[in-house]
Structure 1
Amino acid sequence: MRSLPTDPPERRRIAALLVALVAGVAVFAIATRVFPYHSINHDEGVYLQQAAMLLEEQLRLFPGELSGAFRPWFFVEDGGTLYPKYSPVPAAMYAASMALFGEPRVTLAAVAAGNALCVYALGAMAFDRSVGVAAAAIFAAAPMALVTTSVFLPYAPTTLLNLLFAVCYLSGVRTGSRTSAALAGVAIGLAFFARPYTAVLFAAPFIAHALWSVVTTVRKHKGGPVPDPLVRNALTAGGGLAFVGLTLAYNASLTGSALVFPYAAFAPMDGPGFGRRRLLEHAVEYTPALAAEANGYVLWYLLTRWFTAGALGTACAVCGLALSIRRWYGSASVSTDRTPGLLLVGLFVSIPVGNLLFWGNYNVLATFEDPTDGLIAEFGPLYHFDLLAPLSIFAALAIVTGWRRFATRVRALSGPSVARAVLALALLVGLALAGIAAAPPVAEPIERNAAHTEKYETAYEPIEATDFDGALVFLPTPYGEWQNHPFQYLRNDPGLDGEVVYALDREPAEDFAVLDAYPDRDNYRYAYRGEWTPDPDDRVTPKLEALSVRSGEALAGETTVGVPANVDRATVRLEADGEVAEYGIEDPGEQVVVDWTLEPGAARLGAVDSPVGLGATEEVVLSITLVQPDGSTLTYRQETAVRGDGERVEAIAPPERTVCPLVTRCGSEGTYLPDTPDAHREGVAFETRIEPA
């Protein structure tokens, strides 16, 4: 049996591989256990929808006239087609594992492992392999690395591309490898395609170094073969510019202009810069003062909550930076290559300064002073994700240097056997303390996200419990007419033809159009009682009810409602197209039965002679308001989608039903739950039948 390598470099490489493996397993576990229904950042659904489209060789969805019913969150509507506002690069990375393993979370694990290995390589280049191993471990243990990499967002994948660029660029500088230089260009080009501004901020120190190298070489060149630095930087630039060209071509194919990115087509005022910034209905005057204040809080939370061990880890990074400066400039006889370390230091300038121009850092903060609210509470300062790498490397330098000095001191004061025992004990104690320091910052965001998962689990229970086979499900619109916002777990196939098709529940004309487009499916309406908010403690009670379309020359409706105790009168009201018919009931008894009919062009309330006019497609509202002697009320309200063609009339059954205390209209907070009687007060019952007359 072949023995394992025992020389230090090989042991360090094995250690780095183990760290990367642990990082990948940890992220996969968090992704599957904490985020089985995805997170409160609904951009995840955009990337997963895009990944599914890429597997079908689609850059667009083609719903035609039904675009409004099928428009996913952050998709641009363009003449009957829909396309995402985001670049396809992160989605393509998720699509790869979907194709190979049927599970996109494999990509998340691979990204976590890849980032750890890149940090190891950069730490080894800047200092040594021991620092690289420690840096990889520190990076992998950072709360932002663990949590953000566990969801389908672009930040960790883009960081992987950026770090690959840095590793390949520095490898080319150190060894003269033209292959490494070319790979560096490909990596940063892909990063630009994924997130242009993020890639530019990361690459800025490296570009400055490349320009300095080229200028210096040109000044020294006296003729003859083209110098190696010029060739290498040309290869890097060529690879990067090739993907810039691909990015512009992608823009042109979707938006019609190479210089108009899809995100700008979606929201033209949602880019870097100061002044009026706007995304949908959210807008702000983004001034330099506001940018400085918001970014100050974001960086503070990064350094104290989202980096490994919080402020303690940051203190180590500061010490490591000071040690580096002393090592580089404290002696006239410096033999180490300062280039990797100085470029890492440059990231501490380019990323924070560049992010001042991006108002997303303002948006992740719900309130500046509360780090437990808003997106930053769940995922950290997302736009500064790239800073985790240099922070980890300099923190590792401080820890490794301190350990080496301690070990040297121990060996000088004791014999070999005693020194080994003392160092082993010190290592165990140190690891235990490090774990104690690092665990709380990780546990807090995981607990917050787990609370959201519990809410989603309850909300999706009737969907999970139903075996769909050719179904059409109408979904509510708590945040406006967007699919996957918030219900990103309920996504359509790219062809809008899967075993279950999800459509937005909108106006009657739109709902009938969707039903006409899917005539042979089992129809359902998903709804819930309660108000949907971002607060995980605001739970809803869901229901999934089967729908059918009743049709005839006329339709007869009968609505029966229960009457709770101490009700002395009731009002029955039928309204449609601005017209109303109503009557009163004295001493209604234990229940009220209301007859009503639907005819082409008219709706009739049984006890009222005058009909209510109907348009071609209409919502007919029947309300029964029960009144107690003190004036308090309980209103049963049903809304029926009706369509007529002059000869026949159609209605979607059952109607949408609500039970509203004290008000006559209460939306989803009063949704009637026929299978959950405990959700309503005693005596409440609501039954509606619609049959051909």
Structure 2
Amino acid sequence: MTAMRKGGVDLPPTPSAALGSVPGVSSRHESRRRAPAPAEPDSGPVLPAVPAQRAVWGRAPTGSPAGPGEDALGRRLRGRLAAAPAAARYVAVLAMLSAAAAVVLRHTVFPLLSVNNDEGIYLLHARTLAEGRLFPPAPHPAQSYLPWLGTVVDDHYVLKYTPFVPAVFAASLFVAGSIDPALAVIAAAAVVVTYLLGVELSGSRRVAALAATLLALSPLVLLQSAMVLSYLPALVLLQATMLGVLRGRRLHRAPPVLGAGVALGVAAAVRPYDVVLLLAPLAVWLLVTSAGRCWWLVRWLVCGLAAPAVIVLLTNAAATGSPLRLPFALLEPDDRIGFGLRKLYPADGRHDFGLTDGLSSVGDHLWLLGGWAFGGVVLAAASLAAGVRRRLSAPAAMLGLGGLLFLIGYVCFWGAWNAAELWGGIRYLGPFYMVAVLIPLVHLGATGCAWGAAALVARGRRLGFAVLVPVVAAVVTLTVVVLTGAVRDNLVLTGNDRELRAMLRRLPDRPLVFVAANPAFLGHPTPVTANGPDLDDPVLYAVARGVDDLTVVADHPDRPAYLLRLAPAYDRSPGSPSTARVERLAVRAGDRVAATVAVPAGATPPRSRSARLVLTAGRDRLSIPVDPRAATSLTFTVDDDGLGVDDLALDDDTGSARPGAARKPAVRPTATVVRGGRGTSVAVTLYATDRRGHEHAVDQQILPVRLAAGRAAPDRGGPAVTVLGSVGQVDEVGTGARPPLRVSLADAGAARGGDVTDRRGGEVTQSTRRIGGGAYVPSSTSSPGP
């Protein structure tokens, strides 16, 4: 390679056009020659040879308390540090700062994890592995304690992802009792491996240090370094794979290639789609250009791949029953690559994902990456210019092609569309699916920026600084704006979770909290409502699902039961509602138990044309039209002969015309039969119809009901009906819209013609009150619970 000279200033050398050439490393420590190579322009001053260093440090400091062995070790360490190039020392400091930033962000911005609920999966898996188990145990009833995106297999939960990334955090938990060391190591490793790979790709330590700096200062990397997710570990593994292959090929040494095989196997287990897309062009180039060494490379790569492959096969067999089936598809087979109808979990609505959706998703990610990568737009332009002007080595060019293939491939990935369009979390967590794209972006961008800056300075220092200073200032300003905005948004979301956790921790006596959330998982939509692997935390959470709630209450008689109701869009974004309320629960039993449903005025969307309440119990369904602009209240009776029109009473308060007064609907309830309906619990759902005639569910709440021995032959030796219901609100936090529905026991559970017992521990008295239509219903009242 030769260097060009223009205007008295040296320009970066032009790489050879021959495939397989790797630019010479600008340091004698990376040279393949035995004698020290002369320093290139960007390598800095050449340090004294090793004998000269020994002459300087051969005498121990006077009065040193260290022994001879420790003193010799200190001399060797100081000697190596002094002999290291300045760029390497800079990167070491940068790596330590990145590690510190990860820990600080973890404790300030994400102390309760982020709103990317996948963090809860990795952390639960890590805690399980740290306790010496492969899977979290699943007590009966297993669905009541189901973690986010988990599924039940035999007597344990199978989580969605392979155990490699959780194992890193499990090791940190086992050794230090915290995940902080793992976060720090991953953040530091990302900087160091970027630098080392940059040396292989560009041949310049300064360009490699620039690439490491660009990565470390990217807001996307800063936030991801504080999260328990797989994106940044996958970036480290992908670069380690490329580094080992290129270095082992250049030096013809097996250990780097063996290490690359290990990294490749783990990366393929963690994010296989990313590995295929990003590394495919480089793999093809290696096979074509490694004449005579192809089988040597493949052999050592396969040796490194063996251990991760065996682990994957064994864990797959234990999780899914098949060594070739990943846990990812165990929960929902429609969660896969390609176009068509897609679902994230079984109860999820079917989403029609097409080509235009994929294109818009990748476009949204790239638009955000322009600010979430440090100098993203500038780096993209510099990378393109470096490629056009043939300033890239062949491996770097293949890496750039891999980045383009990655973007094309993600057009077919519906998960990125889900994050961008359906959820929108990439706007305040960053385009996290594009973390792997940072690899070609920072390496090619650093090469292009270094060449472009040298070319500008060659035309004159004033011209160079006149262009470079505004560009750098604009990049720094944009980065600060993006990072401060992201921190602000995530602090809002974290603040909501802090208030929620504080409210739940104020509950007395190790409470049992049923979470009424959609979908029916723990740890969603907030990481606060997640259990540990042993289900022995001070607050035990369970999914509010129906009759199984009565079993959960009976299994934990020492824990008082509560119901947590979250706003339908709780923490979906920083501007979403954050209201959460806690209600005390009690078990009522008798021949009949009455409950009330209250809907406040304005519970439906503002432009709703109509609304209705639907009560469903097994095969019985009652539909009651309600005024979408007025408050509505009704009472229904649960007994052992099903849910009928006669079991429903609408509050008769239509005499008042003031806004918000409870009104009686003009149309009588309609009874229908549900085909294939099952269960005994009562599901109360509020529907609203917009002006275009489209109906959608606004809110739903389930009242757990158990019948003694079926409707046809009730067991007269005990209560015919047992109900778990709310007896009043205890606390509330947050702002914005509240959960619209309130389903509670009617003044302590009115029941016609039968006695009612309250198992809450309060005093029970009998009373009678009039409800709609002039019917008298005996009811019991009790003192409020704690």
TM bracket (short chain): 0.7 to 0.9
Separation in structure 1 between the aligned mates of residue 515 and residue 648 of structure 2, nearest angstrom: 20
Match for residue 366 of structure 1 among 421, 429, 435: 421
Match for residue 525 of structure 1 among 563, 569, 575: 563
Q: Any residues of structure 2 matched to 1:254-333 within 5 Å, and which? A: 254-280=319-345, 281-288=348-355, 290-302=357-369, 304-323=370-389, 325=390, 327=391
**2:693 corresponds to:** none
| Cα contact 1:455–1:536 (8 A) shared by 2 | no
1:292 deviates by 4.0
Distance change in 2, residues 1:642/1:441 (3 Å): closer
Q: Any residues of structure 2 matched to 1:460-609 within 5 Å, and which? A: 460-466=501-507, 470-477=510-517, 479-507=518-546, 509-528=547-566, 532=570, 534-547=572-585, 549=587
**2:191 corresponds to:** 116
1:235 deviates by 1.0
1:532 deviates by 3.2
Separation in structure 1 between the aligned mates of residue 285 and residue 417 of structure 2, nearest angstrom: 31
Q: What is the alpha-carbon root mean square deviation over aligned residues?
A: 4.4
Provide Cα deviations, 1:386-427, integer angstroms capped at 9, x if missing partner: 11022112222233345556777889x9xxxxxxxx99x999
Distance change in 2, residues 1:656/1:33 (3 Å): same
- Whether 2:237 is the aligned partner of 1:165: answer no
Task: State the AA in 1 paired with 2:251.
Answer: T
Q: Any residues of structure 2 matched to 1:605-620 within 5 Å, and which? A: 613-614=639-640
Task: State the AA in 2 paired with 1:153.
Answer: L
| Cα contact 2:564–2:581 (8 A) shared by 1 | yes
Task: State the AA in 1 paired with 2:320.
Answer: T
Distance change in 2, residues 1:426/1:633 (3 Å): closer
Match for residue 379 of structure 1 among 429, 440, 443: 429
**2:443 corresponds to:** 393
Partner-residue secondary structure (3-state), 2:119? helix
Please report the TM-score for the alignment, with normalisation by the length of structure 2: 0.66
- Whether 2:261 is the aligned partner of 1:185: answer yes
Task: State the AA in 2 paired with 1:31.
Answer: R
Provide Cα deviations, 1:615-658, integer angstroms capped at 9, x if missing partner: 7999x999756444217534999997565664444664653669
Moved more, 114-123 or 281-290: 281-290
Task: State the AA in 2 paired with 1:691.
Answer: V
Separation in structure 1 between the aligned mates of residue 146 and residue 244 of structure 2, nearest angstrom: 41
| Cα contact 1:557–1:691 (8 A) shared by 2 | no
**1:443 corresponds to:** 484
| Cα contact 2:591–2:639 (8 A) shared by 1 | no
Distance change in 2, residues 1:63/1:625 (3 Å): farther
| Cα contact 1:526–1:543 (8 A) shared by 2 | yes
Match for residue 109 of structure 2 among 22, 34, 52: 34
**1:348 corresponds to:** 403
1:55 deviates by 1.8
Separation in structure 2 between the aligned mates of residue 273 and residue 557 of structure 1, nearest angstrom: 50
Partner-residue secondary structure (3-state), 1:19? helix
Distance change in 2, residues 1:533/1:301 (3 Å): closer
Q: How many residues align?
A: 592
Provide Cα deviations, 1:453-476, integer angstroms capped at 9, x if missing partner: 23323333302445x664322222
Provide Cα deviations, 1:585-606, integer angstroms capped at 9, x if missing partner: xxxxxxx9x9x9xxxxxx99xx
| Cα contact 1:122–1:340 (8 A) shared by 2 | no
Task: State the AA in 2 paired with 1:365.
Answer: A
Distance change in 2, residues 1:212/1:621 (3 Å): farther
1:385 deviates by 1.4
Distance change in 2, residues 1:314/1:473 (3 Å): same
1:206 deviates by 3.4
1:16 deviates by 0.4
Provide Cα deviations, 1:316-366, integer angstroms capped at 9, x if missing partner: 33344445x1x46xxxxxxxxx34423422322332233233222322321
Separation in structure 2 between the aligned mates of residue 635 and residue 503 of structure 1, nearest angstrom: 36
Provide Cα deviations, 1:645-684, integer angstroms capped at 9, x if missing partner: 64444664653669xxxxxxx99335599xxxxxxxxxxx
Partner-residue secondary structure (3-state), 1:85? coil
Partner-residue secondary structure (3-state), 2:134? coil
Task: State the AA in 2 paired with 1:394.
Answer: L
Task: State the AA in 2 paired with 1:498.
Answer: D
**2:308 corresponds to:** 243
Separation in structure 2 between the aligned mates of residue 617 and residue 630 of structure 1, nearest angstrom: 31
Separation in structure 1 between the aligned mates of residue 739 and residue 571 of structure 2, nearest angstrom: 12
Moved more, 202-211 or 522-531: 522-531
Separation in structure 2 between the aligned mates of residue 627 and residue 255 of structure 1, nearest angstrom: 58
Task: State the AA in 2 paired with 1:299.
Answer: L
Task: State the AA in 2 paired with 1:633.
Answer: A
Separation in structure 1 between the aligned mates of residue 106 and residue 616 of structure 2, nearest angstrom: 49
Please report the TM-score for the alignment, with normalisation by the length of structure 1: 0.74
Match for residue 234 of structure 1 among 295, 299, 315: 299
| Cα contact 2:219–2:482 (8 A) shared by 1 | yes
Partner-residue secondary structure (3-state), 1:365? helix
Separation in structure 1 between the aligned mates of residue 535 and residue 359 of structure 2, nearest angstrom: 45
Partner-residue secondary structure (3-state), 2:239? helix
1:51 deviates by 1.4
Distance change in 2, residues 1:639/1:253 (3 Å): closer
Separation in structure 2 between the aligned mates of residue 245 and residue 273 of structure 1, nearest angstrom: 28
Provide Cα deviations, 1:224-268, integer angstroms capped at 9, x if missing partner: xxx6x6334311122224423432332222112222221222221
* Percent of residue pairs identical: 25
Partner-residue secondary structure (3-state), 1:503? strand
Separation in structure 2 between the aligned mates of residue 89 and residue 655 of structure 1, nearest angstrom: 46
Provide Cα deviations, 1:79-100, integer angstroms capped at 9, x if missing partner: 4542112111222222222222
Moved more, 114-123 or 539-548: 539-548
Partner-residue secondary structure (3-state), 1:364? helix
**2:657 corresponds to:** 630
**2:206 corresponds to:** 130
**2:90 corresponds to:** 15
Separation in structure 1 between the aligned mates of residue 399 and residue 506 of structure 2, nearest angstrom: 51
Match for residue 68 of structure 1 among 121, 125, 143: 143
1:186 deviates by 0.3
| Cα contact 1:74–1:84 (8 A) shared by 2 | yes
Relative to its length, the structure with more helix (as a share) is 1
Task: State the AA in 1 paired with 2:200.
Answer: M
Separation in structure 1 between the aligned mates of residue 648 and residue 548 of structure 2, nearest angstrom: 18
**2:727 corresponds to:** 655
Separation in structure 1 between the aligned mates of residue 469 and residue 84 of structure 2, nearest angstrom: 23
| Cα contact 2:382–2:452 (8 A) shared by 1 | no
Separation in structure 2 between the aligned mates of residue 657 and residue 300 of structure 1, nearest angstrom: 45
Separation in structure 1 between the aligned mates of residue 702 and residue 529 of structure 2, nearest angstrom: 25
Moved more, 393-402 or 191-200: 393-402
| Cα contact 2:160–2:331 (8 A) shared by 1 | yes
Distance change in 2, residues 1:5/1:429 (3 Å): farther
Separation in structure 2 between the aligned mates of residue 232 and residue 531 of structure 1, nearest angstrom: 52
- Whether 2:97 is the aligned partner of 1:56: answer no
Separation in structure 2 between the aligned mates of residue 384 and residue 15 of structure 1, nearest angstrom: 27
Structure 2 unaligned blocks of 5 or more? 1-60, 62-74, 599-614, 623-632, 665-683, 685-700, 709-714, 731-736, 745-759, 767-786
Distance change in 2, residues 1:615/1:481 (3 Å): farther
1:145 deviates by 1.4
Task: State the AA in 1 paired with 2:764.
Answer: E
| Cα contact 2:583–2:728 (8 A) shared by 1 | no
Distance change in 2, residues 1:96/1:614 (3 Å): same
Partner-residue secondary structure (3-state), 1:489? helix
| Cα contact 1:45–1:489 (8 A) shared by 2 | no
| Cα contact 2:584–2:727 (8 A) shared by 1 | no
**1:456 corresponds to:** 497
1:300 deviates by 4.0
